[in-house]
Structure 1
Amino acid sequence: MKKHRLLISAILLALLQIGFLSFIIAGRAAVLRDGQEVLLKVEPVDPRDLLRGDYVRLGYDISNIPVSMIGNVPSGAQWIEAGPVFVRVKKDGDGIWKMVSASLYEPPSTPPGDDEIDIRGMVDDGRGLGRIDTLNVEYGIERFYLPEGEGLAIERDMRVRSFNIVAAIAGDGSAQIKALMDGDTMLFREPLY
C-alpha cells in the first residue's frame, strides 16, 4: 500500500513538472507564433556562453531611454525605482521600429496608434534622476544563440554593417526574438519549439 502511494506521488510530481515546462515552452511559442512582428536595429556586445554555446549579445536604440521621453515621471522626482517600463515604438519609413515615448511601471494611458506597439522592459536598478538623463532598459531579448562557431564571425560582421532582429511582441508587451537579419537577408530563424 505504501509503495503504491509513493509511486502515485512520484508520477503526479513528474506530470506536474512536465506540465510546468510545457506551459513555459507553449507560452514562448505563442508569442513567436501570434505576436506582432517588429524590426529592431541591433548592436553586438559579446559572443560566447560556456554552457549554451555561441551567442550574440544585442543592444538596441530603445535600450537607453532619455528621461525626457518618459511621460509619467512625477514632477520633482529624484529617483526611479527598478521595475517595468513600457516603450512605445512606431514603424519608421525604413521598416525599423523606433521609440516615440515611454511609461514607467504601467502601460501608457492612451492605446497605441497605427503602426505602434508597446514593448515591456525592465529598468534594471533604481536610478537618481538628478544624476542621469537616460535609463538602461532590458527586454529579455539581449541574447541570440547561434550554431557553434558562428558567434565570432557574426559579431565581427555586426561591427561593419547593419544587423536587425525580427521580434514578436505579445499583447502584454513581452518580446521574443524570431530572427536575426543581416540587412534584408535572414541569417537565423528561431524555431517555435
Structure 2
Amino acid sequence: MNAPRWVALTCILNLGLVGFAVAGQLSARVTGEEIRLRVEPVDPIDPLRGAYVDLAYPDISSRSTEKTEDVYVSLARSGKVWKATTVSAERPAERPFLKCHDDGWRLSCGIESFFVPQDRAREVEADVNGGDAVAVVKVDSRGNAALVSVRTR
C-alpha cells in the first residue's frame, strides 16, 4: 500500500474514533428530551482548564453505590425539576433515566462541567452559588445526557 492510502486510512480511522467518543453527547443533544435538574457548585474556575463551573446534582451525585461500575439513575418529575428516585445496575424500563458511572466518590453522568466564556464565569458561579440554579439537560432514550445550559429559576 502506498503512502497516500495510509494517510487516507489514518484520517478515516481518526474521524471514526472522534465520532465514537462524542456519540453519546451528540445523540442526547439531537434526540434527547429536555429536563431540568437542581444544581449546586463544587469548584468554580480551574486555571489549567479555563472557565468552567463544576456542578453537583444533589439528588443524583450523592447516591454513590460504592461500586465502580455503570449504573442507571431513574428520574421522576417533582414540580419544574426532576429528581432521582432509584439507582440500579439494570437499565430501567421507564424513561427518563441517566446512565452514570460510579467513580467511588460520586455518580458521574457526563454533565458535571459547564464551560463558559471567561467573562461570564463569575456571573454563572454567583447564580449557582445563589441556590436557585437549574441545569437544562437533554437525555436520550439510552440515558446519555448533555448539559445544555444553567439557568436561575
Is TM-score (shorter-chain normalized) higher than 0.5?
Answer: yes
2:60 equivalent to 1:90:
no
Identity of aligned residues (%): 29
Structure 1 Cα separation of the partners of residues 64 and 27 of structure 2: 32
The match for 2:103 among 117, 124, 130 is 124
* 3-state SS, counterpart of residue 11 of structure 2: helix
* 3-state SS, counterpart of residue 91 of structure 2: coil
Residues 84-132 of structure 1 deviation map (CA, whole Å, 9 limit, x = unaligned): 111111112x2100122221x2224xx21xxx5221111113xxxxxxx
The match for 2:123 among 119, 139, 153 is 153
**Kept in 1: contact 2:64–2:107 (CA 8 A):** no
Structure 2 Cα separation of the partners of residues 82 and 141 of structure 1: 18
Q: Any runs of at least 4 consecutive aligned residues in structure 1 with deviations exceeding 4 A, and if so which?
A: none
Q: Which has the larger radius of gyration?
A: 1
Partner of residue 174, structure 1: 144
Q: CA deviation at 1:145?
A: 0.2
Structure 2 Cα separation of the partners of residues 38 and 86 of structure 1: 16
Structure 1 Cα separation of the partners of residues 115 and 150 of structure 2: 10
RMSD of aligned alpha carbons: 2.2
Q: CA deviation at 1:38?
A: 1.3
Residue type of the partner of 1:100? T
Q: CA deviation at 1:23?
A: 4.4
Residues 145-190 of structure 1 deviation map (CA, whole Å, 9 limit, x = unaligned): 001122223212322240111111122212111222121xxxxxxx
Residue type of the partner of 1:147? P
Gaps of 5+ in 1: 68-79, 126-134, 184-193
Under a length normalisation based on structure 1, what TM-score does the superposition of the two structures give?
Answer: 0.69
**Kept in 2: contact 1:84–1:106 (CA 8 A):** no
* 3-state SS, counterpart of residue 45 of structure 1: strand
Partner of residue 81, structure 1: 67
Residue type of the partner of 1:180? V
